[in-house]
Amino acid sequence: MEKNKPYFFKLAIGDYIKERLKIPQLFVKKLSADTPNEAIMRVTIKGVAGQRPIMLRKRIDGTYLEDGWEKVVKDNFLGDHEFLLFRYDGDMCFNLQIFEKNGCERIKAPSASEEDKNQQKLFTESDCLESSPKATDDREINAARTQSRPSPTPNPYFTIHMKEYHVKRVYIVVSILLTSVYQANSIALTDFSYIGSFV
């Protein structure tokens, strides 16, 4: 870590971080020399996928990275439970380091070969049931999920809603691994792609 440069971190959990990111109040105080009393300021985020201008917005309940933040999330394939470390370099410029679930720093944005790009088209969020204009009712969404699931099994299992960043890597729920591996001599991974839907 570079000395004399302020840092803060966030743990990416759930959907709340995908649209905007709240900056800790104590960190905002360290920026007071560079930040005028304006409610909205343009800042730059530099990450593994390059740099992007976004808006820093002061609100009554805190200061947020907002307009453009969702593009930073998408460009850097940010997923659940990833550790985000922000360093303020001055002149309204932040350096973003991403640490994956395995604890290792992401040193480059995931790149996709032509084959992967074709697969990504299958799993974009625009194709997900939740974003479909036909499926606006929660009951309709839950009914579709229930119909598309394989029949319950006596073995431990989990389901995952495919996102764009799952094309390269999918993490297995630890509790499933622990109950399966330590109680049996073998483990079987099953591909349910024959169902025809990733809902």
Domain boundaries, the chain: 7-106, 114-195
The 10s digit of each residue's pLDDT in 5-23 is 888 888 887 776 788 899 9
The CA distance from 106 to 195, in Å, is 34
Ranking 52-56, 93-97, 113-117 by mean pLDDT, the lowest is 113-117
The CA distance from 34 to 135, in Å, is 46
Reference 144, options 161, 158, 157; nearest CA is 161
- Interior angle at CA 76, CA 74 and CA 82, nearest 5: 105
The 10s digit of each residue's pLDDT in 58-88 is 888 888 998 989 888 888 888 888 889 999 8
CB under 8 Å to 27, separation ≥6 — which residues?
6, 8, 88
- The domain 7-106 belongs to what CATH superfamily? DNA-binding pseudobarrel domain (2.40.330.10)
* Residue 173 C-beta-side C-alpha neighbours within 13 Å: 9
The 10s digit of each residue's pLDDT in 175-197 is 545 554 445 555 566 655 544 44
Residues in the chain: 199
